[in-house]
Each structure stands twice: as C-alpha cells, then as structure tokens.
Amino acid sequence: MQLNLKRPIAFFDLETTGLNTSHDRIVEMSVLKINVNGEEEQRVWLLNPEIPISKESTSVHGYTNEMVADKPTFRDKAKEIALFIGNADLAGYNILKFDLPILVEEFLRVDYDFDLRDRDFIDVMNIYMKMEPRTLKGAYRFFCHAELEGAHGAMADTKATYDVLCAMLDHYQGAEYEDAKGNRSQGPVNDMKQLAEFSAHHKNADLSGQIIFDEEGQEIFMFGKHKGVRVEDVFRREPAYYDWIMKNDFPLYTKKVVTAIRLRMGGKKVKQ
C-alpha cells in the first residue's frame, strides 16, 4: 500500500555507542525520505561520536573506534542532516524510546535548533505491538486462531499456554532464527532442553536476571553502576558493594547467589 502523504516522511535508523539515550552518541545515521510524489531519497552519515564505542555495540553494528576516528562529528553534519530531513514527519522502528531521544540530544548538544513542532512521529514497532500484543491472549489469537475464553483464570491461562506452545512448534517448524548480531541458528523445535535455551534471553545466574553468565561462564551484574561488570571484579575493588546488596531490596535467591560467589572468593566474614 502506498503511503497517503501530505508532506514528506523520513524513516531513520541510528547505530550508536551504547543504549543510554542521555549520554550515548550516534555512530551512523541513515535516512530514507519519501516525498509526497513518491520519490525516494537516501542518505547515510558515518560519524565520529567523540566518545568510545562500547564493545557490546561494536558486536552489534560492527563499527570500532578506529573505523570512525577520522570521520566528521555530529556538529560537522548537524545542519546537513537537518536540511535533508526538512519539514518531514519522522518514522522508524522503536524511535520513540530510542532513536528520536538520541537524535534530539545530539542536536541540543551542538546548539542546533531542530524544530520538532508540527511533526508527526510514527513508531512502526508500537503499531506492531498494539496489533499483535505480546500477551497470552494475543498469542492465543495469533497461533490458535481463536479468542481466549476465561483469560486471567489460572487454569484457562495454563491450558492456553500449553495450546500456544504446541501451535508455535507447528508454526515455526523448520524456521531459522537470526539474532541481533546476525548469527543464524535453528528456531524453536520440539525438544525441551532446546526450548529452555531458546526461550531465555540470557543464561541467568539467579532467577530474576539480576546476575547473568557471560560467554566465559563468569557472573556479571545486570543492574546498577556496575552493570556489565563481573561480580568477582566488583567485590575485589569494592567489597562494601556486597553488604549494600545484602541490606537492600533484592530477591533472597539473588542474595544467595552473591553470597556463594563471595564465599567462593575466599571471603570468611560474610553477613547473611
């Protein structure tokens, strides 16, 4: 279906130094502008973000600090980017939570007046999520082609979850899965061990995902100021962090896990 446009619309996507919308910077920006007459214009800018690119981000988009060291900065290209976008409405996938806030921060950081007034913002991800809600009711409708009766009753939800899993395995039979890094593997199959691994975002060390295992099997924090850092490294540098965790509102099982790590390190005086 051709878009019904009253003014241009610019679809854009960003590759960044990280996921913090307040502090991280743009490494690459691509824009596809659709004009009212249907004509398409494309531009891509590779930028020096002026701050280090995290290893996690490099593993996703492939850009290293060395690759962008001699590229122009956002300040150098702000006017060019703004003029290309013009008065177009803005669209993209997850732009409202991520891409748009980072873009606006970049313009503000260089004191360029990129006017957001009178623009419409279209987030394709939100349309998808609203039309195909990630709820049991939505999954039942999609996979079982029926409406879930008695939703939020424990037994009805339990039976529906079973039905959805069975229907999923039929639907995705032989399907291939591609992760955010472009790695391809087999999709869900009728094997409980494979389904357990496939359905987990990370390999958790605790039950709530506050601590996960990295690729080398070492526990890392997934919260707070030490997010992404190995637990043992934190406890060596900042032993009091263990006491802070134990005194605060963390799940008991998470506290049990950090206590086991502390004891494994040889700590003799560990508060329970």
Tokens 């003014």, residue?
Answer: 7
Please state, in angstroms and rounded to a whole number, the distance separating the CA atoms of residues 244 and 256: 14
Q: For 186-217, what is each residue's pLDDT tens digit?
A: 999 998 888 878 887 778 888 788 999 988 88
Q: For 44-86, what is each residue's pLDDT tens digit?
A: 999 999 999 998 899 889 999 999 999 999 999 999 999 999 9
Tokens 């009711």, residue?
Answer: 137
* CATH classification code of 9-127: 3.30.420.10
- Separation in Å, CA 149 to CA 17, 138, 139, 166: 46, 12, 13, 18
Where, residue-wise, is CATH 3.30.420.10 in the chain? 9-127
Q: Higher confidence at residue 143 or residue 22?
A: 143
The pTM of this model reads 0.68
CB 208 within 8 A of CB 251: yes
Residue 99: name the closest of 31, 5, 149 by CA. 31
